[in-house]
């Protein structure tokens, strides 16, 4: 009799738990519905896009959200040309980016470098922007391109330049009722290139990455140099950009500016800070050397 009661209690406990999970695993079919849910749950819900980074937080029990809002069914996977601009929906995967026309070279290279086919097919550009090092390769490329983020809430839309998005480790310029809806890139620069060094020869998490976007190698008027992997989120190497502006890129200039690429570096626990700085300098030199060799 006692066993029977225990079995019944366990059964009802399981049913209640499963019901709770179902009720809090939300898959809105429209952006408006997703925004209503975000407004309701705010930061107590976990937003899941491709799930390659976020789901681990739940399975490893690092967080226990009140609800999961999956963006999977939203019509946000697209790459559209809008005049001179390109707009990429937040749930567009690395694989979809690779199949799209008009995407700047550095972003294509960052998407290509995402480890393995399964990851490429699931990792979204929106999720990548939020994922700290050793993730965030596409974010590094986007940062060099002066990308803008379109945030949306039930109150309306807001544009946030990616340069103003990272406020500290895992701290972002996004409000609790907002979702990242799309990313906009202005007129693609003539030259752009992304390179990374992974843990393994054939891929894997990124140790360091550099992305450079330039209008000309003969007289630089517009330049973006972004560095990933050295800090929790990518940063713009602003000192290097200032040194390049107005200049013709020469071997000597590449050598001098390379010393300033690793302005910042924090210990990632994977390799030493000095090695990370060294890697960033090497990647930067390789990119500029390749870009200038096509003069």
Ligand X SMILES: Cc1cc2nc3c(=O)[nH]c(=O)nc-3n(C[C@H](O)[C@H](O)[C@H](O)COP(=O)(O)OP(=O)(O)OC[C@H]3O[C@@H](n4cnc5c(N)ncnc54)[C@H](O)[C@@H]3O)c2cc1C
- Which residues contribute to the site for ligand X (CB under 6 A)? 46-54, 71, 90, 113-115, 119, 122-124, 126-128, 130-131, 135-137, 179-180, 205-206
- Smaller CB distance to ligand X: residue 134 or 258? 134
CB within 8 A of 234, min separation 6: which ones?
136, 139, 140, 143, 166, 209, 226, 227, 228
Distance CA 183, CA 153 (A): 15
CB of 251 to ligand X, least distance (A): 31
Q: Using CB atoms within 10 Å of the CB of residue 84, give its burial: 0 to 12 exposed, 13 to 18 middle, 19+ buried.
A: exposed
- Identify the bridge partners of residue 210 per DSSP, sorted by sequence position: 195, 227
Distance CA 200, CA 211 (A): 20
The answer to whether 259 and 281 have CB atoms below 8 angstroms apart is yes
Q: Is 203 helix (H, G, I), strand (E, B) or coil?
A: strand
- Smaller CB distance to ligand X: residue 45 or 249? 45
Type and span of the H or E element at 23: helix 2-24
DSSP string, 155-187: TEEEEEEGGGTEEETTEES--TT-EEEEEEE-S
- Smaller CB distance to ligand X: residue 211 or 292? 211
Distance CA 125, CA 91 (A): 6
- Smaller CB distance to ligand X: residue 53 or 253? 53
Q: Is 266 helix (H, G, I), strand (E, B) or coil?
A: coil
CB of 134 to ligand X, least distance (A): 7
CB of 215 to ligand X, least distance (A): 26
CA 164 to chain centre: 14
CB within 8 A of 213, min separation 6: which ones?
104, 106, 144, 145, 146, 189, 191, 192, 222, 223, 224
- Smaller CB distance to ligand X: residue 182 or 258? 182
- Smaller CB distance to ligand X: residue 183 or 288? 183
- Smaller CB distance to ligand X: residue 122 or 257? 122
């Amino acid at each position: 009799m006692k066993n029977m009661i225990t079995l019944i209690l366990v059964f009802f406990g399981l049913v209640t738990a499963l019901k709770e999970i179902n009720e809090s695993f939300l898959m809105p079919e429209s952006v408006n519905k997703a925004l209503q849910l975000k407004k309701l749950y705010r930061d107590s819900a976990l937003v899941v896009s491709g799930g390659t980074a976020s789901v681990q937080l739940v399975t490893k029990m690092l967080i226990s959200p009140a609800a999961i809002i999956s963006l999977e069914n939203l019509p946000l996977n697209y790459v559209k040309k809008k005049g001179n601009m390109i707009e990429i929906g937040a749930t567009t995967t690395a694989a979809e980016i690779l199949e799209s026309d008009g995407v700047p070279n550095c972003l294509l290279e960052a998407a290509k470098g995402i480890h393995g086919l399964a990851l490429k097919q699931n990792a979204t550009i929106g999720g990548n922007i939020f994922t700290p090092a050793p993730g965030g390769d596409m974010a590094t490329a986007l940062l060099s391109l002066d990308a803008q983020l379109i945030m949306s809430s039930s109150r309306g839309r807001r544009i946030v330049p990616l340069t103003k998005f990272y406020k500290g480790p895992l701290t972002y310029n996004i409000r609790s009722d907002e979702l990242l809806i799309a990313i906009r890139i202005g007129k693609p620069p003539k030259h752009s290139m992304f390179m990374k060094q992974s843990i393994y020869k054939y891929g894997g998490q990124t140790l360091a990455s550099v992305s450079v976007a330039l209008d000309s190698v003969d007289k630089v008027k517009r330049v973006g140099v972004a560095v990933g992997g050295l800090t929790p989120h990518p940063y713009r190497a602003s000192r290097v950009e200032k040194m390049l502006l107005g200049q013709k890129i020469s071997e000597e200039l590449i050598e001098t500016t390379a010393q300033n690429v690793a302005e910042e570096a924090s210990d990632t626990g994977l390799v030493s800070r000095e090695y990370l700085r060294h890697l960033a300098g090497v990647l930067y030199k390789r990119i500029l050397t390749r870009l200038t060799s096509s003069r």
